[in-house]
Amino acid sequence: MTAATIDKTTATGRVVWFTGLSGAGKSTLANALHAELLARGVSVELLDGDAVRENLCRGLGFSREDRDTNIRRIGFVAGLLAKHGVTVLVSAISPYADTRRDVLTGLPNALEVFVDAPLEVVTGRDVKGLYLKALAGEIPHFTGVSDPYEAPTTPDLHLRTDRISVQEGVQELLRSLGEA
């Protein structure tokens, strides 16, 4: 995963893996990119961490083992879709670097996108007040507060959503996908 672009000339699909704290903008960017790729006629699927957890991973908790299982399941589904030529957009916190690396290594044409914003920014974006509850000790194992988030050290793309607009982020993503 050292290349910043993906070769779109192969029959194999690709996986764009958005990782970052809750509220960093992963889903916002993934949804905007999804709409843009659909408009261009690209076969694309969105796997949102919250939706996958509610359906495919229902019953899993927030222990490290359960979080790893959740990420491995998302990776498995993303890999199946990509093998059939689909561009898969995964939006999942995926907090542990070693699990994320293991999953991404097994995926065809994977692009790791670190969606980044400071804690004060993501806290300000949190309409549900989860960060405030976690900071007050009311929510145990909350990623970035009482549970670790291991940021990628060498992501393929690092997007600081406190410094760029959604459209600027989508343009960076399109360039990395060879779609610009």
Q: Which are the catalytic amino acids?
A: 94
Q: Which of 164, 165, 169 is nearest to 89 (CA)?
A: 169
Cα torsion 48, 54, 55, 57: sign: positive
> For the residues of the chain, what is the DSSP string, one character each?
---SS--TTSSS-EEEEEE--TTSSHHHHHHHHHHHHHHTT--EEEEEHHHHHHHTTTT--SSHHHHHHHHHHHHHHHHHHHHTT-EEEEE-----HHHHHHHHHTSTTEEEEEEE--HHHHHHH-TT-HHHHHHTTSSTT-BTTTB-----SS-SEEEETTTS-HHHHHHHHHHHTT--
